[in-house]
A and B are shown apart, each in its own frame.
Chain A
Amino acid sequence: MGIISRGFSGRSREHNPDLPPGQYLTEDFPVLSAGPTPNIDTADWEFSIRTEFGAVHSWSWDRLHELPIDDIDTDIHCVTRWSKFGTSWRGVSLDTLFADVDTSDEYVMAHSYGGYTTNVPLADLLDGKAWIAFEFDGEQLDPEHGGPARLLIPHLYFWKSAKWIRGLVMMDDDEPGFWEQNGYHTYGDPWLEQRYS
């Protein structure tokens, strides 16, 4: 046990098994961004997956919406220590988007409009674990929260769920993305408290 803080009792005594270590619950939806919010018109929006063979699979806004759309109810966990339970999203599963993608690379760099990047193993995007999400709480996803569309990988810290997603590029090695180059963990499992590198 660490240093006891004289007179500190804390607020919540109940152990909540759904709350990862070091997190607290919030009802808000705080915003964390490294720079200004990009303004992207869905008419110009495109999402692509690029493989090591140079193949580019791309979807316009309309084509994305022709694919099967999932309803996702999930908890989310931000490295700045807030967690939010029972958030509801709609989006297209990465399983659907990767269905025709031929790749042997095991890592992915996610690229966003505005230049943000984050790295993630391909295995963490597949098997029903990740989506391209464009609705939150029954509404179009707000630009502040990553609209028109963001990556949603709820089992990792939320910085991995890149806002304003533009594309995924396959990588044979795990290269660090933006926050990962700035002191944050390369993988970011909230249950293992992988906050910092």
Chain B
Amino acid sequence: MTDGIKPNVWKVGIVAETRTETASGRSILLDVPGWGGNIAGQHADVRLTAADGYTATRSYSVASAGPGDRVQLAVDRLPTGEVSPYLVDDLIVGDQLEIRGPLGGWFVWKPEIDGAEQTGPVQLIGGGSGIVPLVAMIRSHTASGSTAPFRLLYSVRTPDDAFFRTELTEPSRGLDVTWAYTRRAPDGWPRPAGRVTTADLEADAFPASLSPAVFVCGPTGFVETVANALVELGHDPSRIKTERFGGQ
């Protein structure tokens, strides 16, 4: 992290743009003076304050990466959630909220480490809104002109449930995207709808023999299944980084 960036200090974010991503989710672009950039895969705390001083804070992955004070979040509405319904349904351009970060140094990908370009293959595997930190890695990969081969396996219920669909449908050079639909696939789609299996990973992910760095993010059950299958396929557990969400 650059000197002068204070990830632990609450900052004010001003909503610059919101975009509907799915029926239950949207992305939010914030201007956060003092943010100072982030590494792909890091997250942020968002704090809401009610008129009587009551506060609620949740962590969200950051979809943007690189330098600057523009931060993009993408949030899925949890029906019984306290913060996500507000972020998805109520927040409008010009609103302010408090944000703290960037946080976390584990589930991250950097185009270079200590001046050395990272050229090893990277396998990204996302379920639902678990795509958010992976999109940050894809954007970092593109923006840096990285030559590291990237593959994404993205599991969503239906085509309408994909976050960043346009961006991922026309992937940049050096990125292969495989879509796995679990409930409904588009007409004529070669793979029948169903959960990601060991066979999918064998067919579409970088093989263990290439020792890819693997990032898996999604709901707990998805991450558990995928990570176990990867180990079964011979991937070194220490090369597999996971991030799970559960609770609210």
Contact = CB atoms under 8 A, between A and B. Distances in A.
Interface of A: 1-13, 22, 24, 26, 28-38, 78, 80-82, 114-115, 144, 178-179, 181-183, 196
Q: What secondary structure prevails in chain A residues at the interface with B?
A: loop
A81 B57 contact: yes
A10 to B, nearest CB: 5
Interface string B173-185: 0000000000000
Nearest to B237: A36
B228 A1 contact: no
A32 B55 CA distance: 24
B97 A196 contact: no
Contacts of B53: 1
Contacts of B105: 181-183
A6 B82 CA distance: 15
A165 B124 CA distance: 29
Interface string B44-73: 000111110111111100000000000000
Nearest to A32: B244
Interface string B136-161: 00000000000000000000000000
B111 interface: no
8 contacts: A5-B95, A32-B244, A36-B240, A81-B58, A144-B220, A181-B105, A182-B104, A196-B8
Contacts of B57: 22, 81
Contacts of B240: 35-36
B237 A114 contact: yes
Contacts of A35: 227, 237-238, 240-242
Query: B7, B82, B98, B230: which has the most chain A beta carbons within 10 Å?
Result: B82
B244 A33 contact: yes
B201 interface: no
Contact of A7 (B7, B8, B90, B242): B90
A178 B98 CA distance: 28
B228 A10 contact: no
